[in-house]
């Protein structure tokens, strides 16, 4: 069954990987939701039932005193932008996606998905790929605790293959992972945190490529790069999406960009 709404098939590598069998059948059968805003970027859409009176926020231009917090927020917006806060935004956010795609070196905005922080994106990957009470994922502790919390919320099993910790390495134990892949061929995801939280260590791109090309693992490799902007340049796995169909790279505006409150 084709993946509805997917305009670009993406890369065909590695040969052992196919995305469609990994997706939950009920998710694969979904028809993409469409609204009028997909077709019209301007004007007032009456079927959206937006509040015609306007937003419940004071305008700085009117000389009112909105208070220190509201004033700080509103000062970043023009009067026109404040006046339009009652209107639904673009459902696709293509301008922002294009900017992120250019900044991170991925082909175009179709390769970018926006969420309310990386946690939401990771949660959605669980919901798209993992059947509750049946499927499992692999994590490599010590690592970000939300991987396991999100798995528990979605009733997904977690197979843990600890990092190699000798001499402070905190690197993937590829031999142990191979044994786990052989014993558990139906794992849906592998979640890798690089730079690690809480370890702070980078997983080399060469190691990530070996995992992507490993025929023993037929799931999706999720590389969590929340702290990638604190690492040396050219260490991001984002460029790998150009060549590999089985990788998903998550990043955030909360850390290096200091924009945690906009989510």
What's the 3-state SS for 231-250?
Answer: CCCCCCHHHHHHCCCCEEEE
Is the pLDDT score of 7 beyond 80?
Answer: no
Residue 117 shares a structural domain with residue 169: yes
Same domain, 163 and 71: no
Contacts of the segment 23-28: beta carbons below 8 A, 24+ positions apart? 23/128, 23/129, 24/127, 24/128, 24/129, 24/130, 24/131, 27/127, 27/128, 28/1, 28/3, 28/4
**Structural domain boundaries enclosing 105:** 92-262
> Which of 65-79, 154-168, 192-206 comes out lowest in average pLDDT?
65-79
| Per-residue pLDDT at 263 | 76
For residues 78 and 108, membership in a common domain is answered with no
| pLDDT above 70 (res 76) | no
Least confident of 30-34, 169-173, 256-260: 30-34
**pLDDT confidence of residue 10:** 76
Task: Tell me, yes or no, whether 133 lies in a domain.
Answer: yes
Q: Which of 41, 60, 83 is the last residue of a domain?
A: 83
Q: Are residues 77 and 127 in the same domain?
A: no
Do 211 and 257 fall into the same domain? yes
Check whether residue 181 and residue 62 sit in a common domain: no
Q: Alpha-carbon distance 51 to 94, whole Å?
A: 25
Specify whether 241 is located in the same domain as 135.
Answer: yes
Residues 216 and 249 occupy one common structural domain: yes
Q: What DSSP letter does each residue of the chain carry, written as one string?
A: ---TT--------STT--SGGGS-HHHHTPPPP--GGGT-SSS--GGG---TT--SS--GGGT----HHHHHHHTTS-HHHHHTTTS---SS-HHHHHHHHHHHT-SSGGG----SHHHHHHHHHHHHH--TTT-EEEE-SS--THHHHHHHHTT-EEEE-PPB-GGG--B--HHHHHHHHHH-TT--EEEEESS-TTT-PPPPHHHHHHHHT-TT--SEEEEE-TTGGGSPTT--GGGGGGT-TTEEEE--SSSTT--GGG-
HSE-CB for 80 with a 13 A CA cutoff: 0
Of 39, 65, 83, the last residue of a domain is 83
* Whether pLDDT at 60 is above 90: no
pLDDT digits (tens, 9 = 90+) for 208-245: 999 999 999 999 999 999 999 999 999 999 999 999 99
Give the angle 222-226-231 at the CA atoms, nearest 5°.
105
Q: Report the CATH number that the domain containing residue 174 is assigned in CATH.
A: 3.40.640.10
Give 92's pLDDT tier (boundaries 50, 70, 90).
Answer: confident
CB neighbour class for 75 (10 Å; exposed up to 12, middle 13-18, buried from 19): exposed
pLDDT at 64 over 60: no
Same domain (yes/no): 224, 104:
yes
Q: Could you tell me if residue 75 is inside a domain?
A: yes
Of 88-102, 141-155, 200-214, the least confident: 88-102
Region of poorest pLDDT, from 97-111, 158-172, 197-211, 219-233: 97-111
User: CA 51 to CA 49: how far, in whole Å?
Assistant: 7
């Amino acid at each position: 069954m084709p993946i509805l709404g997917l305009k670009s098939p993406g890369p065909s590598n590695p040969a052992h990987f196919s995305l469609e069998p990994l997706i939950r059948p009920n998710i694969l059968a979904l028809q993409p939701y469409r609204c009028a805003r997909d077709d019209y970027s301007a004007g007032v859409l009456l079927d959206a039932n937006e509040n015609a009176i306007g937003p419940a926020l004071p305008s700085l231009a009117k000389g009112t005193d909105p208070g220190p917090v509201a004033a700080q927020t509103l000062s970043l917006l023009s009067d026109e932008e404040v006046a339009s806060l009652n209107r639904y935004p673009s459902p696709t956010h293509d301008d922002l996606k294009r900017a992120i795609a250019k900044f991170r070196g991925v082909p175009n905005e179709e390769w970018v998905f926006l969420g309310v922080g990386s946690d939401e994106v990771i949660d959605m990957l669980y919901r798209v790929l993992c059947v509750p009470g049946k499927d499992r994922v692999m994590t490599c502790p010590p690592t970000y605790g939300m991987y396991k919390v999100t798995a528990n919320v979605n009733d997904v099993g977690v197979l843990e293959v600890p990092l190699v910790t000798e001499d402070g390495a905190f690197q993937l134990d590829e031999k142990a992972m191979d044994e786990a892949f052989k014993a558990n061929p139906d794992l849906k995801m592998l979640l890798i945190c690089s730079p690690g939280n809480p370890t702070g260590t980078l997983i080399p791109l060469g190691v990530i490529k070996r995992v992507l090309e490993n025929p023993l693992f037929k799931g999706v490799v999720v590389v969590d790069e929340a702290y990638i902007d604190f690492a040396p340049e050219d260490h991001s796995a984002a460029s790998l999406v150009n060549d590999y169909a089985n990788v998903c790279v998550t990043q955030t505006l909360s850390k290096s960009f200091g924009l945690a409150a906009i989510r």
